[in-house]
Structure 1
Amino acid sequence: MDDRLAAVAAVVVGIALAVVGLFEYVLSGRSVPPYEPLATGVLVVVSGLLLLVAGLVALRAALDALSLRAATVVGLLALLLAVFQPESLLFGGVFWLGLVAAGLIAAGAYRTVTKIR
């Protein structure tokens, strides 16, 4: 696979994840007790931004790291859940899935950036 293709995929998924998280959880204004969509929205938006940064760094360095691909897949799964089952990432739902996804994306982004240095 072209080195830049994985980086472009990470950028696209990162942007989409950040935008969906922003509109679905942060700006939606939904507050269905006992859920707190703002905390979930912050996790989803931060995950998207981390994936975006990792993708941009990998694109600039022509790097195709396995950690970047893994983070992109986790980001894509979180994106699909946020679009098709937004309640699944909220507190009371499968919030821990969102937390684990954010952690895995952060780890993949960190490994991608440190590999370039």
Structure 2
Amino acid sequence: MADKKKYTLPELPYAGNALEPHITQAQLVLHHDKHHAAYVNGANAILERLDKARESGSDIDMKATLKELSFQAGGHVLHSLFWANLAPASKAKKEPEGALAEVLKKEFGSFERFKKEFTTAAVST
């Protein structure tokens, strides 16, 4: 599979301690270096397994394999978006701007109302 692209773990766009005290460096490093990396490694292992099966002419359970690839690649993509949407407090804005701000105002009336409803939903059981 040397000529095919593999998934790669992206670098964090900030220092490991940049999100403290909300996310500790230990939590951030564990989540990025272990959890996210597991999705990357899992997706790459499936791609290798597919290549080997194709090269040897072996049959594989394609439905199960693609379902597993979807899970692993999806975890990688979602985590990549997650890192890109976090920022140190010094770089964060107090409220969203642009299209997101417009949608929140339309749906909730205000950003403050959105935060209230979101927080209530997040802490309820």
The interval holding the TM-score normalised by the smaller chain is 0.3 to 0.5
Structure 1 or 2, whichever has the larger Rg, is 2
Larger helix percent: 1
Question: Which of the pair has the greater relative contact order for Cα pairs under 8 Å at 6+ separation?
Answer: 1
| Structure-1-length-normalised TM-score | 0.45
